[in-house]
Amino acid sequence: MGAVDLTTHPGHLARRLQQAHYLLWNTMVSEEITSPQFAVLNALVAEPGLDQRTVGERVGLDRSTIAEVISRLGRRGLLDKVRDPQDGRRFLLRLTDEGLRTHKKLTVRTARMNQVFLAPLATDEQVLFFDLIRRVADAAEGLRNPSEPLVAPS
Amino acid sequence: MGAVDLTTHPGHLARRLQQAHYLLWNTMVSEEITSPQFAVLNALVAEPGLDQRTVGERVGLDRSTIAEVISRLGRRGLLDKVRDPQDGRRFLLRLTDEGLRTHKKLTVRTARMNQVFLAPLATDEQVLFFDLIRRVADAAEGLRNPSEPLVAPS
DNA sequence: CGGTATTGTTCAGTGCACCGACGATTACGA
DNA sequence: TCGTAATCGTCGGTGCACTGAACAATACCG
């Protein structure tokens, strides 16, 4: 009888929440462009000409994953990738016109989807929802960083 | 200029939350057994002899995914799979002694990890955290179901 | 009893997400 | 300046997650 109640496990809830979101996204936003892909488009609308690594940092994806996402967006013609003449290690990323159009279109649909997704919560509860999740996620990310040392680095 | 603030997008937050959990799990619980795998072990501790589909239902995984997870657990010798003599379509699943031991060990570590993960929240906030996420996830799942019809099925 | 529908599992395909290792390029320090 | 270190991207490997299609076994109905 050592079984545990998973509904009190935050990891399990997080997974279910993301699955639920995935389904809703697929039906209400797009079957072609995924939520992480939209995040990349959005980052490049905010800051055109970023390199891959920085985009990954902005949207929270590691180098391997961001490489795949970007390659898919490139294949769809939503984004251009050019070597930085100043620094031959990096690629500069920039949305195409098609990419801009897609971002605009999905922005509208995403807003609608978020409303439906959050409909079960009252307005003040939605604020709490964001705040609580953000605090937990931020703290856990902080645990993994080289972490601001409490004393000066040796 | 059309860029959006992703920190107000529940889907993006859900993804980040899960990633944070993944990292913490890897360092504090196990590098071999993943959180979904633990969920399956847990379901079989609660109800030994379930079939694959039902286990998937219990932990929230579709048939394809649950098949892979179970095959991995089988390869590790944590679980046995036998055809149901009553119904040749299904496989009955049951933990091995090794599987039971593993579940017990991970239960302890998981509890510790959950404490660390939720540490940024006060006790009453943790209760809210569970409640809000569960409500959103449940509602979104409900949207996808054949859904209890409002009138009798024709 | 026989044919059709339903159910449990598998398979192929796509995509996200991580790690560790590698090659190329640039930056820094002796 | 020359060699070592850091940085950016790629590649291979593992694992989760979904869809749609195929297959086998069972259930149901005429």
- Please write the tens of the pLDDT for every residue from B16-36: 999 999 999 999 999 999 999
CA–CA min distance A142, chain B (Å): 9
Tell me how far apart the alpha carbons of residues B142 and B68 are, in angstroms, rounded to a whole number. 25
Contacts of B83 (CB under 8 A, 6+ apart): B90, B91, B92
pLDDT at A147: 45
Tell me how far apart the alpha carbons of residues A90 and A98 are, in angstroms, rounded to a whole number. 23
For B100-153, what is the HEC assignment? HHHHHHHHHHHHHHHHHHHCCCCHHHHHHHHHHHHHHHHHHHHHHCCCCCCCCC
Of A36, A48, A35, the closest CA to residue A113 belongs to A35
CB contact under 8 A, A2 and B107: yes
**pLDDT at position B47 over 80:** yes
* Å from the A147 CA to the C25 C1': 28
| CA triple B133-A5-B82, angle to 5 deg | 120
- Mean pLDDT of all residues in B96-116: 97
What digits encode the pLDDT tens for the residues B122-154?
999 999 999 999 999 999 887 765 444 433 333
Q: Which residues in chain B are contacts of A42 at CB distance < 8 A?
A: 3-4, 6
CB contact under 8 A, A6 and B103: no
Q: Which residues in chain B are contacts of A16 at CB distance < 8 A?
A: 60, 137, 141
Tell me how far apart the alpha carbons of residues A143 and B34 are, in angstroms, rounded to a whole number. 19
Q: What is the pTM of this model?
A: 0.91
pLDDT at B143: 73
User: Which domains are seen in chain A, by residue range?
Assistant: 8-143 (1.10.10.10)
**Using CB atoms and an 8 Å cut-off, which of residues 21-80 of chain A contact chain B?**
21-25, 27, 35-36, 39, 42-43, 45-46, 59-60
CA–CA min distance A32, chain B (Å): 17
Q: What distance lies between CA B71 and its chain's CA centroid?
A: 16
**Is the sign of the CA dihedral B107, B11, B17, B67 positive or negative?**
positive
* Å from the A145 CA to the D9 C1': 22
Tell me how far apart the alpha carbons of residues A94 and A71 are, in angstroms, rounded to a whole number. 13
Contact positions of strand D to protein Cβ (< 7 A): 7-13, 15-21, 24-27
Residue A7 confidence class, pLDDT cut points 50, 70, 90: very high
| CA triple A100-A26-A74, angle to 5 deg | 35
What digits encode the pLDDT tens for the residues B52-103?
999 999 999 999 999 999 999 999 999 999 999 999 999 999 999 999 999 9
Question: Do B107 and A4 form a contact (C-beta atoms < 8 A)?
Answer: yes
